[in-house]
Structure 1
Amino acid sequence: MNRNISKKITIILIAYKSEELINTFVKKIPNTVKVIIIENSNNLLLKRKIEKKHKNIKVYIKKNEGVSASINYAAKKIKTEFFLQISPDIKFDYMDINKFIEVAKKLDNKFSALGPRFLNVNNKSHKQINKNLKIGSINSIHGSFMFINKKKFKEIGGFDNNFFLYFEETDYCKRASNGGLKAYQINEIKVKTEGRSVLIKNKKEKKELNNILIWHFIWSKYYFTKKNYGLILSLLIFLPIIIRIILKIIFYQIINKKELIEKYKYRLNGLMNSIKGKNSSLRP
């Protein structure tokens, strides 16, 4: 990697109970590239080990306030022109950073975020541009891999701290689009997701985490919809969802499926909290 290009970019990693992944991931990062890790699970040992071994990496221990707050916090520490927010479960060729910077230059930095093509995702749930295009505009760059110009990030207003998980990147790209800045996907740059960024082996903790993710997904989905499309339309969209959730809870109670009852109760609780205007407050 060109040393001058390395001076243009900082990599942001958000860590939560992902020490093993982080340790493996940082070994692949060229030592000329600056890295900021926001550690949200109070792992002081990870901080000591990483900073001792990697002089290009700075680890910040922070109260877990979610992805949006973590990225906004990290962005304030960055002194380079660009930053790359990337999940530690992504497989990526660091030479492709050159391509991001080249595209950014061609676009005269008039973009909200640039992203790669994901190779191993469900095309129905993970929207991407036509694979035959070299580059194309897209409604939103996936939050696990976003190349951003720091100055534009500040102009757009960063991420909305009310999002703890999910839809923060969708909201960011929509606000940017409303202001005339598009997001772009570059098909030439290809990445793979290798699993989940949070590694929990205990079955009880894993089950709890899955329910928390369900809670936050529906909370964020309603919050995003209400924020961008208004209260009336949001209620019209989500009223049938509420009815379906309640019917599923009743059905699973009848056939005594406790795990599914619990799952849909979390979903209902997350949605009702969002409708009532309560904060995205559920934590592990």
Structure 2
Amino acid sequence: MDLSIVIVNYNSWSVLSNCLESVLSLKSILNIEVIVVDNQSTKNMMASYELKYPTVKWLRNSGNNGFANGCNLGAANAVGDNLFFLNPDTKLNSGVLEHFIKIYDKENIGILSCLQTNNNGTFHKYNLLFPNSLRVFGILRSFERFFKKKQLTQHFKETATRSYPDWISGSAIFISKQNFELIDKWNEDYWMYFEDVDLCKKIQENNLPCVVTKEVSLFHLHGGASRVNPKTKAITKSEVIKSRHVYISNYFSANSQKWLHPLLMTNNLLSVGILSLLSFPLFFLKKLQVNRYKFLELCNYYASALKNKTWLSNRSTNFKFSK
């Protein structure tokens, strides 16, 4: 088997249908299997989808165990020589898979992806850098990109057919099964977000590059798989913050952690707390209301972190196993 496509789903049935149609309609010379891992969606639609797409291998997860856990479950049941982890809110274009297979071994690539377009026809940002002590703060990250614009432009040449970012978005990640096993799969410390940064960190620690090829592209409805209502938005946005703490714990020095964790905690509670308070007088601004749920999520998270002495989200499977 040339390739196993692994898709993790949680209540993303409408966009998943579009994704599967795009994959199954491909006229490819490759021997491909499609695996969908459902993280116990609350919408009971899996049975009807199994009937609608009988050639797809459907797996029921034991719970909503997060993206990394779902990917690992799919990979454990895959028989392909290569793995392609794909978001359900994507649509695959013809020629992408063949191009990946053609260049992956030839160019000694660790993790491979391609350009991703959105509804406006523009590309998602792909020149991504690993977090450091400055980049974990959004405003400082923006300052760095401004002051190092010339240097970054030279490194990420727009005219080149390949880009070599530090890390690649988990929405579309191609990796050989051999390399996937080499880096010991996805890290389930993360429930959602930063698991892709971690995966790329491990691959580069093994002297293999992360590559974005600009010769092919796919469509990605960014956020279409996770941000469907205010409460869901609050959970996903707060998980970004939690996973940032986890990444710091996994890769930053002990001295850096001593000041980064409390500084991040103070910054997050103050900024989200202020926006939460503003949502009451400015009730007509619907986007602000997300911050109320987000603030409660963060308060519960930080209380748990202090009590349990771990920065893992309580949604993480590794948090559950550590209890």
* TM-score for the superposition, normalised by structure 1: 0.83
**Which residue, 2, 5, 10 being the options, matches 1:11?**
5
Residue pairs, 1:37-56, within 5 angstroms: 37-42=36-41, 46-56=45-55
Distance 1:256 1:178 in 2: 44
CA 1:246–1:51: 2 relative to 1, 3 Å: closer
Unaligned runs of 5+ in 2: 26-30, 130-151, 282-288, 317-323
Q: 1:22: Cα distance to partner? A: 1.6
2:59 is the alignment partner of 1:60:
yes
RMSD between superposed Cα atoms in Å = 2.9
Distance 1:253 1:83 in 2: 42
**Which residue, 246, 263, 279 being the options, matches 2:294?**
263
Name 2:99's counterpart in structure 1. 99
Distance 2:84 2:250 in 1: 27
Please list the CA deviations of residues 153-194 of structure 1 after superposition, one character each: whole Å capped at 9, or x if unmatched: 011100111111000011011012112122111011222322
**Which residue, 19, 23, 47 being the options, matches 1:25?**
19
Query: Which residue type is aligned with residue 11 of structure 2?
Result: K
Distance 2:303 2:60 in 1: 32
Name 2:168's counterpart in structure 1. 141
Residue pairs, 1:117-156, within 5 angstroms: 117-119=115-117, 120=122, 123=125, 129-156=156-183
Q: 1:228: Cα distance to partner? A: 0.6
Name 1:3's counterpart in structure 2. none
Distance 2:85 2:256 in 1: 32
Name 2:112's counterpart in structure 1. 114
Of residues 125-134 and 51-60 in structure 1, the stretch that sits farther from structure 2 once superposed is 125-134
**Which residue, 182, 189, 194 being the options, matches 2:221?**
194
Quick check: 1:117–1:190 contact (8 Å CA) kept in 2? yes
CA 1:93–1:218: 2 relative to 1, 3 Å: same
CA 1:231–1:273: 2 relative to 1, 3 Å: farther
Q: 1:148: Cα distance to partner? A: 1.1
Distance 1:53 1:91 in 2: 18
CA 1:47–1:172: 2 relative to 1, 3 Å: same
Quick check: 1:118–1:191 contact (8 Å CA) kept in 2? yes
Quick check: 1:15–1:39 contact (8 Å CA) kept in 2? yes
Of residues 268-277 and 14-23 in structure 1, the stretch that sits farther from structure 2 once superposed is 268-277
Name 1:245's counterpart in structure 2. 268
Indicate the percent of aligned positions where both proteins have the same amino acid: 16
Quick check: 1:218–1:270 contact (8 Å CA) kept in 2? no
Matched residue SS, 1:65:
coil
Matched residue SS, 1:99:
helix
State the aligned residue count.
271
Unaligned runs of 5+ in 1: 1-6
Distance 2:197 2:250 in 1: 12
Name 2:249's counterpart in structure 1. 226
Q: 1:116: Cα distance to partner? A: 0.6
